[in-house]
């Protein structure tokens, strides 16, 4: 999933970009509104994270332009503008969420996940016997996982379990659902599995 991050505070943008990348997102970052607007118009993004106050063009302007063009890409404002009127104006301009600086990283990541879920963005992709969730890839046929370029060999049950988790990424699975899925026609193991 691809995120565009537009914020003129380099001391925030660079570490935030690295964090989102570690979380498995592909991130393009820019520090001014004009570049951000250009990237948002020509790029294909699953989410835009915009600061309001930007040199060149404001985040509010970018959001309004995208909505006028009929683009429905989710927009999260990440800004120091913290009055009720600011929040209402940002949401009325077409933003899907609004988070005031300073913020907690865990909350930002939760809001990113929620926006991507809410908009129906796939949490995993599947092509020819492979599943990909964030930076984890599973070759179903060969029972091999790849992460950060490293090969992880799996047993048959480990591969089945990982495949089940990846196919249900972002969903809460009960102990019973997992046991039933993995041991459908077999004797189920003890409850410590």
Res 34: pLDDT: 97
Domain that holds residue 11: 2-118
Q: What is the pLDDT of residues 11-30, one digit of tens each?
A: 999 999 998 988 888 899 99
Of the candidates 24, 25, 20, 50, the residue with the CA atom closest to the CA atom of residue 35: 50
Taking the CB of residue 43, how many other CB atoms lie within 10 A of it?
12
User: Would strands 75-79 and 97-100 be described as parallel, antiparallel, or unpaired?
Assistant: parallel
> Could you give the percent of the chain with pLDDT greater than 70?
89
- Angstrom distance (rounded) from CA 6 to CA 41: 13
Position 189 in a domain: no
Q: Are 81 and 176 members of one domain?
A: no
Res 107: pLDDT: 94
Give the CATH number, domain containing residue 139: 1.10.10.10
Picking from 103, 118, 133, the residue at the C-terminal end of a domain is 118
User: Would you say the pTM of this structure is higher than 0.75?
Assistant: no
Question: Tokens 């060999």 belong to which residue?
Answer: 153
- Angstrom distance (rounded) from CA 174 to CA 178: 6
């Amino acid at each position: 999933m691809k995120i565009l991050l537009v914020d003129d505070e380099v001391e925030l943008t660079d570490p935030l970009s690295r964090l989102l990348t570690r979380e498995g997102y592909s991130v393009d970052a820019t520090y001014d509104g004009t570049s951000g607007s250009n990237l948002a118009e020509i790029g294909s993004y699953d989410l835009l994270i915009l600061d309001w106050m930007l040199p060149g063009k404001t985040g509010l302007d970018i959001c309004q332009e995208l909505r006028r063009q009929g683009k429905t890409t989710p927009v999260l404002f990440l800004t120091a503008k913290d009055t009720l009127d600011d929040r209402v104006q940002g949401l009325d301009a077409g933003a899907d969420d609004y988070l005031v600086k300073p913020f907690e990283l865990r909350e930002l990541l939760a809001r990113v996940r929620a926006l991507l879920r809410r908009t129906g963005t796939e949490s995993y992709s599947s092509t020819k016997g492979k599943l990909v969730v964030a930076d984890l890839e599973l070759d179903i046929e060969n029972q091999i996982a790849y992460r950060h370029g490293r090969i992880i060999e799996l047993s048959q049950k480990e591969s089945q379990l990982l495949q089940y988790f990846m196919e249900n990424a972002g969903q809460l699975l009960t102990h019973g659902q997992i046991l039933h899925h993995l041991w459908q026609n077999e004797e189920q193991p003890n409850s410590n599995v």
